[in-house]
Structure 1
Amino acid sequence: MFDIGFWELLLIAMIGLVVLGPERLPVAIRTVRGWMSNVKRFSDTVKTELNEELRIQELHANLKKAEQVNMENLSPEVAESVRSLKEAAEMVTKPYMNKTEKSAIEPTANKENNE
């Protein structure tokens, strides 16, 4: 990305040492390193989110294609996308189903305890 070699870094370090002095140079280096790590973390987050959005977009396109052919004679890629969408839908609804099942079981358990 940047074309900075060893000698350029050494020159920057010497200028920083002269300008900032030996007391403040380590603090400045830590601060710049923190900024760089924050920028890298932010760029990684953005890249991950973009990849997920592209994947979701592809899944939606494949689902529309599957709906157009009425879920018959699907290509392997489209069938895989439909399967992964169904799994994602099941994972999303699963926590709610567990709560409903527990609430349906609890009244019968309370009746048994009261008797």
Structure 2
Amino acid sequence: MFDIGFWELIVIAVMGLVVLGPERLPGALRALQRTVHKVRQFSSNVQNELKHELRVKELHEHLQKAEQLDMDKLPPELQRSVAELKAAAQQVQRPYASKPEKNDKDSHE
């Protein structure tokens, strides 16, 4: 990504030591490390979300093809996509399933 050699790093370290001093340099390096970690984590999250959205789009396209064709005469790839969509739909509906009602006795106390 960046083409920084050993001597460039030494120059940056000496400049940091001169500008910040030996007391504040470790704290600045830790802050820089945390920032780099957060940026990497954010980029990883964005990448995962994009992959997920592309997969959803692909499944949606397969579902449209399946609707256009006869559902019984689908190629194996489309059958797998339809099965994945059905499983995902069931998984989404589970949290909204009806919860058992409390007894009237418990709610009055």
- Report the TM-score range of the alignment, normalised by the length of the smaller protein: 0.7 to 0.9
Task: State the SS of the aligned residue for 1:72.
Answer: helix
Q: TM-score, normalised by structure 2?
A: 0.86
Which residue number in structure 1 is paired with residue 70 of structure 2?
Answer: 70
Query: Could you report, residue by residue, the CA deviation over 1:48-69 in whole angstroms, capped at 9, with x for unpaired residues?
Result: 1100000000000000000000
Measure, in 1, the Cα distance between the counterparts of 2:5 and 2:70.
60
Q: Runs of 4 or more off by more than 4 Å in structure 1?
A: none
Q: Which is helix-richer, 1 or 2? A: 1
Which residue number in structure 2 is paired with residue 15 of structure 1?
Answer: 15
Task: State the SS of the aligned residue for 2:52.
Answer: helix
Which residue number in structure 1 is paired with residue 107 of structure 2?
Answer: none
The percentage of counterpart residues that share the same residue type is: 53
Q: 2:33 is matched by which residue type in structure 1? A: R
Measure, in 2, the Cα distance between the counterparts of 1:94 and 1:44.
29
**Offset, 1:38:** 1.1
Q: Which runs of 5+ in 2 are unaligned?
A: 105-109
Counterparts of 1:1-115 in structure 2, within 5 Å, are 1-97=1-97, 99=99, 102-103=100-101
Task: State the SS of the aligned residue for 2:71.
Answer: coil
Measure, in 1, the Cα distance between the counterparts of 2:93 and 2:52.
20
Measure, in 2, the Cα distance between the counterparts of 1:94 and 1:32.
43
Higher mean C-alpha displacement, 58-67 vs 90-99: 90-99
Measure, in 1, the Cα distance between the counterparts of 2:75 and 2:60.
15
Measure, in 2, the Cα distance between the counterparts of 1:74 and 1:6.
59
Q: TM-score, normalised by structure 1?
A: 0.82
Kindly report the root-mean-square deviation, in angstroms, between the aligned alpha carbons of the 2 structures.
Answer: 1.6
Q: Which runs of 5+ in 1 are unaligned?
A: 111-115
**Offset, 1:94:** 2.2
**Offset, 1:74:** 1.0
Q: 2:44 is matched by which residue type in structure 1? A: D
Which residue number in structure 2 is paired with residue 113 of structure 1?
Answer: none
